[in-house]
Chain A
Amino acid sequence: MMLPKKELGLLVLLVVISAITEALNPLFLSGVNLLDMANLIGLFGIFSIGEGLTIITGGIDLSVGSMFSLLGVIFIDLVANWGVGWPLALVAVLAGGLLLGAIQGILITRARMQPFIVTLCGLLIYRGAARYYTDDSTMGFGYGNDADTLSWLAAGRSFGIPHSFIFLIVVSLILGVVLHRSVFGRYLFAVGKNEEAARYSGISTKLVITGAYVLSGLLAGISTIFLVFYTNSVSPSTFGNFYELYAIAAAVLGGCSLRGGEGSILGIVLGTALLQVLQNLVNILGIPSSLNFAVMGTVILLGVFADQQLQKRRAVAISVAAQRARPAVT
């Protein structure tokens, strides 16, 4: 299969930036650094894919960062304080993500509220709930619980490769097939490109859009587990802060249009990787970490700008072709 142009461009960009970083500091391609990065790409990639799905429908999910905090404190509380076995606690967290996503999806489609508003309120509510639930204090696992197996599953490594990265590959493959090879995936794009036309084609647009938010919630639930075992504790006021913005940035950098109807799983994963390499570049070059956000913002801006210019050229090409087609039938 040939790589689509957009993804190919991203890949080239990724390679170029990696090469620059490597040239500036040979530590970049060291095994330790690469595996560290793979771990972070895994952590951020999983929920960025969920974010991408909502963006493809023409929506957005601002709530994922706060969901991590709320689901994270619930998970630790269940395991550390209530003595709930980890399989049950895991199921509770996944179900929680699913439920929150479903509620948001239903509010967006049935109550016809704007995705931005619904998920912004989600962001505020979940964060507030997490902080109230814990009295704003950091929660940790303590000693002697039975979550070691899960801890290994989430934060461990097999053949030296971080599990989060392996899991990202698995999720990407599954959702890649769902998005690009299933009827549901085609519906997601259809709804994002032209919701009216989708509706007039007899598609349950409400169900499809809700589905995107449910998936985003579920992936946020999964990410919660990985993130909790990455940090081993949750401070409810900062845990997952701004992560939804990382996800949006990765999706947009990866070719998702905020107007909806465009994007790919591969693109989102490459976007996530690119963001992490950039972060790494900032660290390795010794740029003050306070400039971190500024560097990322600039790169995303440039990337999206370049993409828009290409899009414009394509739209012109289409309209020119349409002009040519017209006299042919008269």
Chain B
Amino acid sequence: MSALLELSGITKTFGGVAALRAVDFSLAAGEIHGLVGENGAGKSTLMKIIAGVHAEYQGEMRLDGHSVTFASPRDARARGIGMVHQELSVVPDLSVAENVHLGAQPVHRFGMIDWRGMRRSAAAHLANLGIDVDPRTRMGSLPLGLQQLVEVARVLFSGARLIILDEPTSALAPPEVERLFGLLRRLRDAGKSIVFISHFLDDVLAICDRVTVFRNGQAVATEACAQVDKRWVIDRMIGTGHEELEESYLAAIQLHSQSDAKLVLQVQGLTRAGAYRDVSLCVRSGEVLGIYGFLGSGQLELARALFGVLPADLGQIMVDGRVVRLSSTTRARRAGMAFLPESRRLMLFGTEPVFKNATIAILDRVDRLWLRPSIERGIAGGHVRQLRIRPPDVGRALGTLSGGNQQKVALAKWLTHLPRVLVLSEPTRGMDVGAKDDVVKIVRGLREQGIAIVVVSTEPETVLSLADRILVMKKGSVVREFADEPVSKDRLLEVA
């Protein structure tokens, strides 16, 4: 195998923090190369360097044996490097043919678009790749799996011979994954090179020729996929060295479920097309249920169904033994549900003072009809003291607080009149250690008060630090429950 792309000694720092440290990486012509590693391990940084997004770095990149530097993504595209992002960059309102030709429509004289020529060449190109789609179809009407194939076709059409696929299988059902793999194999046989970035280790091992594992900004191992198994990859991802073992997350955490407490939340057969299928779960009073899965596994949508934001298509939800219909957030709130979304912006009013943010969700119970700002300030003041919100000034505009303190205000919204069920989505994402500890303490305190808590996250550490029981979701289904047993990060990664 001759190397199409060779990187040596790549180092990239962001504001003094090393994202990549002396990484060597080579990609052969006609190879599918898997890239795995935890969030923040450096995979995407490396791909952004290859795709010309990051132009500043140390080290050398050689394409076809010649040293190259890309000043921009356009540069990289011109040299035959294409990227398909997890969030597809298709235009749903245009036809398949227009999407394939995006940015390079064939034109007649006078600059008019040559529609017929465009359809013909798109049809030929798609047929050539074995993609069975009518080029006149509106892109948005295709299932996601097909849209992705068309996007791959578009990248190829623009002249790519090296394609980077970022999490291509996270939103695909098994048959769609097979179809994608079929296309990738055909491309490989035609001499194209593919970088396959994914959290789904089974998929990586199934399709890739070689796999490179990233950890803490370093490429720690590269091996032929035929030689290794999932266990080997996970060990490399987490590290088995002394230094990592000391970190608490690798040590197994013993789960203790509260099997005798009252059932508060019961969910049966919850289904939402394209998001999750047949999810059943229950949470007891004073119990924290963790739901872990990679991005796109359906757990974020599930959390929204529990608060009436994105109601489920099918299934039943019971709170305290009574069936509730969560068709709106107002109904969900009245049914005793509370929700903290993963983005603070969805929850808070940045220009409004802290106290108005803290009381907006309970106004109708505190004030009924007329506002009583002094009472609101009193309530908010209590939360500020209890949650140690800094600075302790309830009249301050919320936007002037730090992220961790804003998150505490978001939590405070639900703490005046305690809900029966509290659903937290990525409650500690992007927080520093101190703020994370505070949130963990707050959640533990709420558990003591008998609230049923659901913590949804794509980060194993978040679930492990909070949950009494853990469900793992994969591509929309619950695939494993951990209860009354030791569980560690590598076990979670293994089943997800």
Contact = CB atoms under 8 A, between A and B. Distances in A.
Interface in B453-483: none
A183 B369 contact: yes
Contacts of A198: 360
Contacts of A82: none
A283 to B, nearest CB: 40
Contacts of A204: 328, 330
A157 interface: no
A6 interface: no
A215 to B, nearest CB: 16
A200 B341 contact: yes
B309 A201 contact: no
Interface string B294-333: 0000000000000101000000000000000000111011
Nearest to A198: B360
Interface stretch (A11-19, A130-138, A188-196): A188-196
* Chain B interface residue number, banded: 35 or more
Interface stretch (A143-151, A298-306, A320-328): A320-328
Given A326-B402, A328-B402, A199 B364 contact: no
A313 interface: no
Contact of A201 (B345, B347, B369): B347
A241 B400 CA distance: 45
B332 A325 contact: no
A182 interface: yes
B116 interface: no
A193 B351 contact: yes
Interface string A224-251: 0000000000000000000000000000
A5 interface: no
A321 B361 contact: no
A202 B367 contact: no
A120 interface: no
A201 B371 CA distance: 17
A186 interface: yes
B490 to A, nearest CB: 30
B391 interface: yes
A326 B401 CA distance: 7
Contacts of B356: 186
Given A193-B351, A325-B401, A328-B402, A199 B329 contact: yes
A131 to B, nearest CB: 38
Contacts of A196: 345-346
Contacts of A30: none
B279 to A, nearest CB: 21
Contacts of B364: 183
A197 interface: yes
B435 interface: yes
B193 interface: no
B157 interface: no
Contacts of B333: 202
Nearest to A196: B346
A329 B330 CA distance: 34
Contacts of A325: 390-391, 400-402, 405
A183 B351 CA distance: 18
B349 A330 contact: no
A318 interface: yes
B339 A181 contact: no
B399 interface: yes
Contacts of B391: 325, 328
Contacts of A330: 432, 434
Contact of B309 (A193, A194, A199): A199
Contacts of A329: 390, 402, 404-405, 432, 434-435
12 contacts: A182-B369, A186-B360, A193-B349, A193-B352, A197-B346, A261-B351, A318-B351, A322-B401, A325-B390, A325-B402, A325-B405, A328-B402
Given A190-B360, A325-B400, 6 more contacts: A193-B351, A200-B307, A202-B329, A318-B350, A325-B402, A328-B391
Q: Which 3 A-B pairs have the closest CB atoms?
A: A202-B333, A321-B400, A201-B361
